[in-house]
Amino acid sequence: MMTKRQREYTFRPNDSLAQLVQLLAALVCLSQLLSWLLLAGTALPKALGWLEISDKVFNGLVGVAEFGAWVLMGLLLCSGLVFLCWLYRAACNARALGAQGMQVSPAWAVSGFFVPIIHLFLPYQAVKEIWVNGPVDSEPDSIWLRIWWFGLLGSMALSRFADISAGWETQGGEWGIRLLLFTLSAWLTAASAYALLRLVGEINRRQNRLAGE
C-alpha cells in the first residue's frame, strides 16, 4: 500500500483496531438487549402481579442482572479505550491523506471526551471532520454518525436519571417509570453501539480506499 505523508503525519493501516472496536460494539449491543429482555421479562410482570416467581428465584435473576450490568460496564470501558486508540489513529490518517480544514487535532479528538461541556460536542465534530475528509465521490454526511452520538448522549442522560430514581420508593408507579427509563436507555445504548460499529467500519474502508488511490 502506498504511504502518503502530510507534514509529520504518516498513514498507518487501522484495520485491527477497527475490527476490535466493531467486535466490542457488537457485544455491547447484544449484552444491553439481553439485559433489557431479562428485566422486562421478569421484574415488570412480577411487580404488576402478572407472574408468580418465588423470592429465591427472583433474587437469583436479580443477581444475574447485576452480573450482566458489571459485564456491560467492562465491555463499555474496553470498547471506549479501544475506540479512543482507533480515533487517534484515524484522525492522524485523515491528515496524512491530505485532509483540509480540520479544526480538531488528534490529541483533542481523544481528550475532548474528558473535558466538561466540551465533551458534549467536540468528539462529534472530530469524527465528523474525519468522515467529511473521505473520498470525494462518497456521501457528505453519515446517518450513523448522528445515531451514534445522539444515542450516546441520550443514553447517558437517561442512565443518570435512572440512578437518581433508584432512591424512590418501589411502588407500582415507580416500577413503571424505572422500566421505561431503563428501556429507553438500553435501546439507545444498543442503537449507539450498532451505529458505532457501522461508522468505524465505513471510515476505515473510506480511508483505505483513499490511501490506495
pLDDT tens-place string over residues 122-174: 999 999 999 988 766 566 678 999 999 999 999 988 877 766 665 554 544 55
Supply the pLDDT for residue 48.
57
- All three cell numbers of 103, joined, read 479544526
Task: Decide: pTM greater than 0.75.
Answer: yes
Supply the pLDDT for residue 172.
47
Alpha-carbon span 109 to 124, nearest angstrom: 9
Taking alpha carbons only, the member of 19, 14, 10, 23 closest to residue 206 is 14
Radius of gyration of the chain (CA): 21
Taking alpha carbons only, the member of 66, 57, 76 closest to residue 35 is 66
Other C-beta atoms within 10 Å of 87: how many?
24
- Top-confidence residue, 6 or 138: 138
DSSP 108-169: HHHHGGGSTTGGGTHHHHHHHHHHHTS-TTS-SS-HHHHHHHHHHHHHHHHHHHHHHHTTS-
Q: What is the mean pLDDT of residues 39-66?
A: 64
Whole-number mean pLDDT of the chain?
Answer: 82
